[in-house]
Amino acid sequence: MRNRTVLTGITTTGTPHLGNYVGAIKPAIQASHNADVQSYYFLADYHSLVKNQDPGQMRESTLEIAATWLALGLDTDTAVFYRQSDIPEIPELTWILTCSTAKGLMNRAHAYKAAVQENLDAGVDPDFGINMGLFCYPVLMSADILMFNANDVPVGRDQVQHLEMARDIAQRFNHHYGELFVLPEAVVDDHVSVLPGQDGRKMSKSYNNTIPLWLPEKRLRKAIMKIVTNSLEPGEPKDPDNSALFKLFSAFATSEQREEMKQAYRDGIAWGAAKQQVFELINSELSVPRERYEALIEEPGKIEQELQRGAEKARDFATPFLARIRDAVGIRAIG
């Protein structure tokens, strides 16, 4: 038996970029090799539906993200890799939890509050453009987590409140119906560097400064060449601690390579030469998985098969557990 269950979800919106890779995908795949841990990694397509109502984009993004995890070597024999919407137990549990979740708790969710505030600032109706999916998002996320009795949930800082809500919801349920749920914990890794984007701010879709993970070689080089630097000339010493380019390099480098690059900065390496080294380092890590990715994308049937296999394994746990939960709330045969 594995000691702990680690679970995390990836919203199926957009194309994976270098920041997603360094901050989430790579550490998750590494963690899944730990023999003490049972990992559940899933594509959160119901969460994506809150914002993304273009069916074509939904399919595209689901395909790209699934292919990414497989190309990067996620071992689907040990990790359970599935698509949220293939597990009907999750929306069923969502409703059950919704009925024991205080509306006041949801009123306090950062994402919902920010959307209301934006409306107030714009002088429009506070509910403008807000759907119930956004409001109930933390309950669906709680169901994702509680459905598998997850202990540890690796997430970004912005998701910590959602984990606190999942604990609240689980506690309230356990108190009323008996101890069914494990109280999950957020795992926020502050050592994982937040990758800067091309403009030096945090790499994020909302800043439009991302470098897509699977750019072909030439375009990857071009994207790296566009990273902002300053006007110091070749030969002038440069400061690695204030350089987005150096941060990007560091996220892929060994400590030895990092020291060498620091020295090169002090010795006045030209920006163009430094960028070329950053490109070569990143490209050497990605070139083999990139070939696998390109092959996988051409075979969506194969990816679908993997997801179906994952769904079966996930339901091996979810189906009997949901039966117990239904029984606990009194939804059961009457005769």
Residues 82-141 binding ligand TRP (CB under 6 A) are 141
DSSP letter at 231? Answer: S
What SS3 string covers 36-47?
Answer: CEEEEEEEEHHH
Q: Using the rule CB under 6 A, which residue among 44, 93, 146, 169 binds ligand TRP?
A: 44
Interhelix angle 244-252/255-266, rounded to 10 degrees, is 160
DSSP letter at 32? Answer: T
| Least Cβ distance, residue 319 to ligand TRP (angstroms) | 19
- Give the CA radius of gyration of the chain: 22
Stretch that binds ligand TRP, among 2-10, 62-70, 71-79, 246-254 (CB under 6 A): 2-10
- Where do we find the tokens 């356990």? 174
CB atoms within 10 A of CB 205: 14
Please state, in angstroms and rounded to a whole number, the distance separating the CA atoms of residues 332 and 249. Answer: 58
Stretch that binds ligand TRP, among 8-16, 278-286, 296-304, 327-335 (CB under 6 A): 8-16
**Structural element, H or E, at residue 326:** helix 300-329
Stretch that binds ligand TRP, among 65-73, 74-82, 152-160, 271-279 (CB under 6 A): 152-160
Beta-carbon contacts of residue 38 (< 8 Å; ≥ 6 apart): 2, 4, 5, 6, 80
DSSP letter at 203? Answer: P
Smaller CB separation from ligand TRP, 141 or 224: 141
Q: Residues 17-36 vs ligand TRP: string with x where CB under 6 A? A: --------------------
Smaller CB separation from ligand TRP, 11 or 94: 11
140, 46 in Cβ contact below 8 A? Answer: yes
Q: Using the rule CB under 6 A, which residue among 5, 6, 11, 80 binds ligand TRP?
A: 11
**Structural element, H or E, at residue 87:** none
Please state, in angstroms and rounded to a whole number, the distance separating the CA atoms of residues 307 and 303. Answer: 6
Stretch that binds ligand TRP, among 4-12, 87-95, 167-175, 229-237 (CB under 6 A): 4-12
- Where do we find the tokens 């038996």? 1
Q: Using the rule CB under 6 A, which residue among 17, 47, 83, 221 binds ligand TRP?
A: 47
Q: Residue 4: CA atoms inside 13 Å, Cβ hemisphere, count?
A: 15
Q: Does 8 bind ligand TRP (CB under 6 A)?
A: yes
Please state, in angstroms and rounded to a whole number, the distance separating the CA atoms of residues 68 and 63. Answer: 8
| Least Cβ distance, residue 7 to ligand TRP (angstroms) | 6
Strands annotated E in the chain: 4-11, 37-44, 80-83, 152-154, 185-187
Smaller CB separation from ligand TRP, 125 or 158: 158
Smaller CB separation from ligand TRP, 93 or 145: 145
Smaller CB separation from ligand TRP, 7 or 169: 7
Q: Using the rule CB under 6 A, which residue among 62, 159, 198, 277 binds ligand TRP?
A: 159
Stretch that binds ligand TRP, among 30-38, 52-60, 151-159, 227-235 (CB under 6 A): 151-159
Stretch that binds ligand TRP, among 6-14, 52-60, 88-96, 228-236 (CB under 6 A): 6-14
Binding residues for ligand TRP, rule: CB under 6 A, are 7-9, 11, 44, 47, 141, 144-145, 153, 155, 159
